[in-house]
Amino acid sequence: MNDLGLLLFLLALGLLWSRTMHHTVWFLAGEGVLLSLMVWTSEPVTAVTVVVGLATLVVKGGLIPGLIHRILRTWPAAFRRDHPLPLWAYGITVLVVLAVSHVIHLLGPTGVIQHALLFFYALASIHVGFVMIVARRHLLSQLASLVAIENGLVVLAVSLAGALPTFIELGLLIDLGIAATLMVWMSHRIHQAMHTTDVITLRRLRG
């Protein structure tokens, strides 16, 4: 389980580092596969865990990355890359990851954390996702960061409670699938109307 958590954290760093949106698609798909494996390995294999794992794989490993990839294929090459990551983002990433150790130190005596190492990887991945929201400028990078944060929250719940209730997991998957579909569609319409994918440029349109 801890090894899968480490891979999730590395994929989150890959999302932060990547400028090519096609790489972002693969990183997101990798996170979806890892979360499916976590579902199947965190509990005894039953019909419920099989269904939840398959639903996770379909939505996070297939549907969301597939929608982004399909949209990207219709865009010119110039709109398939993000701007370089600002230098300050690297420094903030290091600081927020180090801050997770302090959080574990504070919560340790309470007994809330069941898997300290998995908690570290999950919370660090969430922090990296927030850095992405601030530092990245591509519309689809913003979407990827939100999905990465949600993935980290699921793993964080596993590190605290062992697993989420089934109805909550399935509800989150349905909500995320619908939200991601709408956001990809809106990104495509914004690109068609404004001929840009830069969120900084779009902010200047506010009156």
Read off the pLDDT of residues 8-19 as tens digits, 9 standing for 90 and up: 999 999 999 888
Assess whether pLDDT exceeds 80 at residue 99.
yes
The Cα 45–Cα 43 span in angstroms is: 6
CB 156 within 8 A of CB 123: yes
Beta-bridge partners for 81? 20
Beta-bridge partners for 198? 138
pLDDT at 165: 63
pLDDT in tens, 119-152: 999 999 999 999 999 888 888 888 899 999 989 9
Report the chain's terminal Cα–Cα distance, integer Å. Answer: 49
pLDDT at 162: 64
Using pLDDT thresholds of 50, 70 and 90, give the confidence band for residue 25. Answer: very high
CB 79 within 8 A of CB 197: yes
- pTM reported for the whole predicted model: 0.87
